[in-house]
Amino acid sequence: MFRGLRKLISVLCVLLLLSGCWSSREVEDLALYLGLSLDAGKPAPKEKDLERKGARYPKQDKLLVTIQVVPAVGAASNEDKSLEKSSPFFNISGSGDSILQIFRQFSIRLDRPIIGHHLKVIVISADLLKKQSAEQLTDFLLRDNDIRPSCIVLVSEGEAMDVLVGTPNKEIPAVALIGMSRNRSRTSKVMRPVTLARLDAMIHSRKSFVLQRLITAGKETLFSGAEIIKGSIGQSIGSLEEEDTMCLTWLRGEGDRGVIKVNDSKGEPLVFEMKSLKSKITPHVEGEEISFDVKITTTGRIIETWSKGDTSTTQEYADEASKIFEEELIRMMTQLIHKLQNTYAADVAGFGDQLAIKYPSVWKKVKDDWDERFSQSKISISYKLSITDFGSFSEKK
Amino acid sequence: MFTRTDDKITSSQAAVFLTNTLLGAGILTLPRNVTQTMETPDAWLTILLGGAAMLGIVLLMVKLCLQFPGQTVFQYAGKIIGKFPGKLVGMILILYFISVAGFEIRTLAEVTTFFLLEGTPPEAVVLPFIWVGVYLVLGGINSIARLFQIVLPISILVLLVSFGVSLRLFDINHLRPVLGSGIMPVLRGMKTAILIYAGCEVVLTLVAFVQEPKQAVKAMLGGIAIPIFLYLLTVVFVIGCLSVDSVVTSTWPTIDLVRSFEITGFFIERLEFPFMVIWLMQMFCNFSSFFFQASLGISQIFNVQLRPIIFMLAPAIFIATMLPRSLQDVFTLGDTIGYLGLGMFFLLPLMLSLIWMIRKKGTKGHV
Amino acid sequence: MSSLMSFVPSWHIWVLSIAAFLVPFLLSKIFARVHDFIKSGGNFKTASAPSPSSSSVERMPFSGDYAADIRSVLHVIGENSDLVIRKFPMSKLDAQGTLFYMDGMQQQRELNMRILEFFMFELTRDMLSIPFNGNGLLPFYTLKEATDAIEFSRLVLFGHAGVIVEGVPCGLLIQNPNTSNRAIVEPLSEALLRGPRLGFTEVLSENTSMLRRQGFSEQLEMRSYRIGNTLPKDVVIAYFKDIVNADLLKEVEARVSNIDIDFLADSGYIEQLIEDNYLSPFQQLQNTERPDRVINGLLEGRVAILQDGSPFALIAPATFSMLLQSPEDYYERWIPSSLLRMLRFFAAFLSLLAPSIYISFISFHPGLIPTELVLSIIETRQGVPFPSLIEVLILELAIEILREAGIRLPKPIGPAMGIVGGIIVGDAAVQAGIVSPILVIVVAVTAISSFSMPSYSAGITLRLLRFFGMIFAAILGMFGTILFFLLLCSHLSRLKSFGVSYLTPVSPYRLQDWKDLFIRAPISLMKKRPAMMKTRQERRQT
């Protein structure tokens, strides 16, 4: 009895050891990709050579996918690596019709399997977004089990793969982008990051939305403006400038940072630094007519002025200056509202959400062609800007 | 007596037992299930209403059980509706428990192989899990209750921390408008909201084990209040952070919630790790509870020893686990179990109580 | 119908379902058998060869015939070269007497001055009335009588001074052994910064006296047992009469008196012979060198077992939380003590699971750790040729060997060895690229955590268990680690020590007992004795 049992146990142990560790893969044998960019389809430069020599499979080149792989060590057969020896990362691009298919294509080009657990940034080129809907482009990214819904989505003016090039011996571009997106605490030109989770919700709700836009020149990338995605088609219909973006963030109540610069009576710059901002959208429905009241309350300080002698710190001066700033704010906001209603006819500022909360039954009726209804609705904005202090500066009267 | 020979549990243990039996796979899928049928953000209302209904049902069950102190439903069902029908009801309950146990493990295997162990065959996940379960269940209800009491505080702590941290994504507008489409969707959602409490039939057997039957009502109501609260919290946070639109498209919305942010600079940057840990432990509790109930039922109906039954049930549960062919099957099974459970914990106690009351009145009349 | 058929699982599911039954079934059978086997080995009283005590067939009762009695004693112990025999005449009796003692076990001066003088010049016939003890006429306060030569010889050999007087039909044992002992020193294995420095020694009477000296009480009771077949030894069970639960006491007494063994070299023997579950990795009795700890245990309603020849007392029943409690918790103020205690729980967790978690992260779930961390891990692991399990095993084994070597080495070399082994070997291993620096940190933290356990035995248990955890982790990653944890918890929840569940007071919840679990509540709040002990008195201070 005992001997038989012992034999059985040893057989079981051996079986367990032989068959075990199915999913085991040492971390250093994996290639993490931190960044992913999607471009309009055309074969990547290196791919052309490969294809000429016969490395082909049937595809229509709808997409060009670039991933940023870290760390660069161990990826021996890579060209980029030999160029930038000490670079901590390398990029690899491939074209094709499906993201997963391209990913699997990378597996025959790299010595390590790629895993997406650490994907931080997805950059989509604006050109591609004009051709394909965001839903199509992110479908795989949302389904995949590796990619976390926490990675942020950006749009690039021009080629998205250029964003990931970065400068040698500097920080990994994907990580740098994440760092830049945190600068929201300094300027509202950086919008609240759109994560895959939020993108999913926005796409599914068929409402229009904006994505942060990147502009790359040379090797420098900056956050500039916003790309508007029209909800009904899911494609990009244009973009907002930096100033509009800042105003949009304020209007949505998602940020209260930024500066307003005006020229004072002498033509010298006068700068207002925002400390707090509250924005409240109140919808009104009268019959078929939908209108919105927006109340923007903001406080801040005068932080910089160039005009000589005009450095008073009195209340009168503050009132006077706040009028000038208010005018500037009105100008900026009006410009934004005009663009949203007339140029693009897309509600990306959350007017519809407020309507849905306040008048759910009305919303049900209008939600299918909301963007059109939005462009016709009346929006009146009231402003209240007050200057509370002058920085650590005080002038004798 | 210093050494306890009777297999009784304290009322706090009984409460934890019930809680752990209920908190299972539902916590991952509940927000989607409820929201899909409702399509409004009022899911939390539904959960509350469903919870209130459950409190009533549990109360009824406890009252029924207290009529037969120290006896489980398998024993007293026969006394109420006759020997043979009683056994039949017991058998249905047992089958139900086995299929729930199988369903829970299958969900666990699906989630584990999807998020943690890609490429591992589900059998390799399921088998060791069942084995450890056998070991625990062999220890009797006391050991099970003790393990539950270790696991539950950890689970609640991690759950609360996860939700607390996800506050940064929380947007109250996602939960508004309240009753925007009227009360109808809420009522429509009730069905799914009650289904997540499938498994509270264990009350029918659990009360028999409570040391102080006087406190059974309090313990059981407490035991069901904790999951109601946690489910409510889950729904509020998942919908509040992800919005209805995202929740309906997500297979495991709660996991998606903890995956949708990173706490940079913290050693555990990714909360899905602790979350998965407690969820797996919670599933283990869940499974062992049903496993125990099923084996207890068999042993009491057929008057056989508990130990061999536990060994015999292991393969049965394994096969039940492997029956669904795909994830879609699993979800269908989950729904079916829910409906069955509705009958089990709603109709069964109601029917038994009614018959018992009639019979009691009848005998009283004779006297 | 065909759609129904598609639900029928394939054959390998059926095969596996048989495994689902067989594995736990066979394992439980094996464990039950092994357990019974060990248990039967412990109780060979019933089945085994005649024990030495049965040789008393040839008892040699003293006859009263002086010459014959001397002969029979010499017959028993005459071969021993360290036996000293002194014959002396007794002037007042006009008779002969013989003093027996073992060289080195009595103080010569006292024998000369007091005893021989008394026997030779003062002893009168009246004093020699039997029984000696009852009449108490002889001026020896540790007087014992031996009625047969065997017993007499045994006690003489144990160190007593024995006298045989002409005309008296029994041997007198007049002096207890007075051998050299080691001094009382600070307990080595449980050193504290603050608290009593007293530690048990190898002498039972000294140990019991230490317990007595802890305070004035008429309730502290000690019962003595003589255990051991070839070389019997004294074992004492100590408890507070008015506190201890009678059932518990009965159980302990029954188990102790049922011990059947040749010789008890240390109280560790007793521990292993009376514990509930022989196959559990956890100790089910607590051992301690500290009298204060024993008394505290007794006051909680526990029972202590002391054994002659061992400086370790056993406290029963033991629970899991006791492994992580140090007496110092009570001597320092409650806030730092509570923090230290939680720290210890954390350390226990680390020493048990840190390597497993490392393996699961490195080999299975790189997606669960922060990006920056994963990048630095990848960099440091470049060129490590082994999978993480082997890597961890190499270093863990090295540390265990080092620790083992450190204990054996004489004190002056030990620390040097630790430095050479730990620092140089560890550093060299990293340099050589066999292990990664992160792992060195993990292993070091694990080792240090296991040393922070207040009880050495608990430390060993955790160190042993973590190897199993590593194997689980290597097969199923995080899932395996959780399974291991659940298995451990299941085991703990099933384990009992003298009828007390090992997990009390963690579960069932008793708020009252939790005051002394994760935190150490202020002493003034701990007014009640632990409920789990079911003591006769509930309140501590009345």
pLDDT per position as a tens digit, B193-206: 777 887 788 888 88
Q: How many CB atoms lie within 10 A of CB B350?
A: 14
Closest CB to C489: pick one of B123, B150, B312: B150
- Residues A341, A385 within the same domain: yes
Taking an 8 Å cut-off on Cβ atoms, the answer to whether B117 and C476 are in contact is yes
- In this prediction, residue C460 carries a pLDDT of 87
B127 and C16 in contact by Cβ < 8 A? yes
pLDDT one-digit tens code per residue, A115-139: 888 899 999 999 998 888 888 888 8
Last residue of a domain, one of A208, A240, A272: A240
Average pLDDT, stretch B155-178? 87
Q: A146 at the C interface (CB within 8 A)? A: yes
d(CA C255, CA C498): 10
Q: Considering the domain boundaries, does residue B367 fall inside one?
A: no
Per-residue pLDDT tens digits for C392-430: 888 888 888 888 888 788 877 777 777 777 788 888 888
Q: What pairs with residue A292 in β-bridges?
A: A283, A379
Instruction: Please give the residue range of the domain that contains residue B129.
Output: 11-349
Q: How confident is the model at residue C391, as a pLDDT?
A: 87
- pLDDT in the model for residue C530: 79
Tokens of C264: 């008890």
What single string gives the DSSP state of each residue in B308-330?
HHHHHHHHHHHHHHH---SHHHH
Chain A positions in Cβ-Cβ contact with residue B242 (cut-off 8 Å)? 197, 201
Determine the Cα–Cα distance for residues A157 and A238; give it in Å rounded to an integer: 11
Q: Which residues contact C149 (CB under 8 A, 6 or more apart)?
A: C60, C61, C62, C69, C72, C73, C75, C76, C171
For residue C426, what pLDDT is reported?
A: 83
- Residues ≥6 apart with Cβ < 8 Å to B212: B10, B11
> How far out from the chain centre does Cα B11 lie?
18
Q: Each residue of A226-265: b (16+ CB within 10 Å) or e?
A: bbbbbbeebbbbebbbbbbbbbbbbbbeebbbbebebeee
A318 and A370 belong to one structural domain: yes
Residue A140 lies in a domain: yes
In the predicted model, what is the mean pLDDT of residues A173-194? 87
Q: Which distant-in-sequence residues (6+ apart) come within 8 Å of B74 by Cβ?
A: B90, B93, B205, B296, B297, B300, B301
Q: pLDDT band at A79, cuts 50/70/90?
A: very low
Exposure string (b/e) for C324-340, b if CB count within 10 Å is 16 or more? bbbbbbbebebeebbeb
How far does the CA of residue B130 sit from the closest CA of chain C (Å)? 7
In angstroms, the CA C329 to CA C54 distance is 50
Both tokens of B348, joined, read: 């069964």
pTM: 0.89
Q: In 3D, which of C221, C212, C219, C217 has the Cα closest to residue C242?
A: C219
Q: Which residues of A touch C381 (CB under 8 A)?
A: 26-28
Neighbours of C188 (CB within 10 A): 10
Residue A200 sits in the same domain as residue A267: no
CA dihedral B252, B258, B260, B266 (to 10 degrees): -160
DSSP lists the bridge partners of residue A69 as A33, A90
- Looking at residues A168-185, what average pLDDT do you find? 82
Same domain, A347 and A225: no
Q: Which CATH number characterizes residue B316's domain?
A: 1.20.1740.10
Q: Cis (ω within 30 of 0) for the bond into C131?
A: yes
Q: Quote the CA–CA distance of B157 and B162 in Å, as a whole number.
A: 9
pLDDT at A77 over 50: no
CA distance C216 to chain B (A): 28
| C-contacting chains (≥3 CB pairs under 8 Å) | A, B
CA–CA distance, A4 with A16 (Å, rounded to integer): 18
Greatest alpha-carbon span in chain C: 116
Domain identity same for A337 and A354: yes
Q: Which of B306, B327, B105 is nearest to C17 (CA)?
A: B105
Question: Are the beta carbons of B73 and B301 closer than 8 angstroms?
Answer: no
Domain match, A229 and A253 both: no
Separation between Cα atoms, residue C131 and residue B46, nearest integer Å: 91
Judge if A278 and A183 occupy the same domain: no
- Dihedral sign for Cα atoms in the order B292, B297, B303, B308: negative
Q: How far apart are CA B125 and CA C85, in angstroms?
A: 77
| Chain A: residue whose CA lies nearest to B260 | A150
Position C436, amino acid? S
Domain assignment of residue A381, yes or no = yes
Residues A189 and A286 in one domain: no
Same domain, A274 and A216: no
| B181 domain-assigned | yes
Q: What is the pLDDT of residues B10-22, one digit of tens each?
A: 888 899 999 999 8
Distance CA(B279)–CA(C407), nearest Å, equals: 43
The one-letter code for the residue type at A12 is L
Burial of C268 (0-12, 13-18, 19+ CB in 10 A): middle
Residues A61 and A65: their CA atoms lie apart, in Å, by 10
- Binary contact (B139, C490; C-beta < 8 A): yes
Q: Searching chain A, which residue's CA lies closest to the CA of residue B127?
A: A16
Separation of alpha carbons B151 and B141, rounded Å: 15
Overall domain count for chain B? 1
| Mean pLDDT for all residues in chain B | 85
With CA atoms as reference, the chain B residue closest to A146 would be B115
Distance between CA atoms of residues A164 and A145, nearest Å: 24
| Inter-chain CB proximity B245 and A205 less than 8 Å | yes
Same domain for A212 and A267, yes or no, is no
Residue with tokens 């200057």: A387
Question: Is the model more confident about C500 or about A308?
Answer: C500
The residues in A 69-88 lying below 8 A from C, measured between CB atoms, are 70-71, 73-74
Angle, nearest 10°, between helix axes A315-338 and A242-251?
Answer: 100
- Determine the distance in angstroms separating the CA of A204 from the nearest CA of chain B, rounded to an integer: 6
Q: Are residues A58 and A205 in the same domain?
A: yes
Contact at 8 Å (CB) between B21 and B286? yes
User: Would an 8 Å CB–CB cutoff place C342 in contact with chain B?
Assistant: no
Q: What span, in angstroms and rounded, lies between the C-alpha atoms of A57 and A53?
A: 12
Assign B147 a pLDDT band (cuts: 50, 70, 90). very high
Please say which residue of A213, A240, A267 terminates a domain.
A240
Q: Give the mean model confidence (pLDDT) for residues A165-169.
A: 70
Residue B160's CB is within 10 A of a number of other CB atoms, namely: 12
Largest Cα–Cα distance in chain A? 105
Q: Which residues of B197-223 are buried (b: 16+ CB within 10 A; e: fewer)?
A: bbbbbbbbbbbbbbbebebbbebbbbb
- How near does any CA of chain A get to the CA of C525, in Å? 48
**Look-up: residue for tokens 């008196």?**
C257
Residue C474's closest CA among B268, A22, B124? A22
Contacts of A10 in chain C (CB under 8 A): none
Domain with residue A350: its CATH number is 3.30.300.210
Any chains having at least 3 CB pairs less than 8 A from chain A are B, C
Sign of the alpha-carbon torsion through B1, B6, B11, B12: positive
Interface test with B, best of A135, A143, A147, A148 (most B CBs within 10 A): A148
Q: Nearest C-alpha of chain C: how many angstroms from B354?
A: 35
Higher pLDDT, C536 or B108: B108
C366 vs A32: CB contact, 8 Å cut-off? yes
C387/A26 touch (CB, cutoff 8 Å), yes or no: yes
Q: How far is C273 from chain B (nearest CA, A)?
A: 20
At C49 the pLDDT is: 43
**Shortest CA gap A115–chain B (Å):** 12
pLDDT per residue over C80-119, tens digit each? 888 888 888 888 878 888 888 888 888 777 777 778 888 8
Number of domains making up chain A: 2
Q: What are phi and psi of C71, to 5 degrees?
A: -60, -45
A40 plus A74 within the same structural domain: yes
Q: Is the dihedral of CA C33, C39, C41, C45 positive or negative?
A: negative
User: Which of B117, B180, B259 shows the shortest C-beta gap to A23?
Assistant: B117
What DSSP element (H or E) covers B150? Answer: helix B140-165
Quote the CA–CA distance of B316 and B294 in Å, as a whole number.
11
Asked whether residue B5 is assigned to any structural domain, the reply reads no
Residue entry with tokens 């596996």: C16
- Give me C161's structure tokens: 């001074």
Q: What whole-number distance in Å separates Cα of residue B316 and Cα of residue C293?
A: 51
Count of CB pairs separated by less than 8 Å, A with C: 71
| pLDDT tens-digit series, residues B270-305 | 888 889 999 999 999 999 999 999 999 999 988 888
Q: To 5 degrees, how large is the angle CA A37–CA A42–CA A48? A: 110
Does any domain span residue A128? yes
Residue A7 lies in a domain: no
Last residue of a domain, one of A191, A208, A240: A240
Ordered per-residue pLDDT tens for chain C, 542 residues: 567 777 777 788 888 888 888 888 888 888 888 888 887 765 544 444 444 444 444 667 787 788 888 888 888 887 788 888 888 888 887 888 888 888 888 877 777 777 888 888 887 777 776 666 666 677 777 778 888 888 888 888 888 888 888 878 878 888 777 777 788 888 888 888 888 888 999 888 889 999 998 888 888 999 999 888 888 888 999 999 888 988 899 999 999 988 888 888 899 999 988 888 888 999 999 999 999 999 989 988 899 999 998 999 999 888 888 888 888 888 889 999 999 999 999 999 999 999 999 999 988 888 888 888 888 888 888 888 888 888 888 888 888 888 888 878 887 777 777 777 778 888 888 888 888 888 888 998 998 888 888 888 888 898 899 999 999 998 888 999 999 999 999 999 999 888 888 888 877 777 777 778 888 888 888 777 877 777 777 776 55
pLDDT at B128 over 50: yes
Report residue B14 CA to chain centroid gap. 14
Chain C within 8 Å of A25 (Cβ-Cβ)? yes
Which H or E element spans position C499? Answer: none
Query: Residue A85: is its pLDDT beyond 60?
Result: no
Q: Tell me the C-alpha distance between B311 and B313, whole Å.
A: 6
Nearest to C475 among A20, A28, A70 (CB): A20
Which token pair is C86?
A: 């002194």
Contact C532, C497 (CB under 8 A): no
Portion 113-142 of A in contact with C at CB < 8 A = 115, 117-118, 120
Q: Tell me which residue range forms the domain holding A339.
A: 249-389
> CB under 8 Å to A57, separation ≥6 — which residues?
A105
- Note the pLDDT of residue C541: 56
Q: Give the closest-approach CA distance of B2 to chain C in angstroms.
A: 6
Tell if the CB–CB gap between B260 and A150 is shorter than 8 Å: yes
Q: Work out the angle at residue B347's Cα, subtended by the Cα atoms of residues B345 and B351, and round it to the nearest 5 degrees.
A: 120
User: Does the structure show a pLDDT above 60 at A16?
Assistant: no
- Other CB atoms within a 10 A radius of the CB of residue C433 amount to 13
Interface test with C, best of A5, A14, A17, A21 (most C CBs within 10 A): A21
Asked if the structure places residue B6 within a domain, the reply is: no
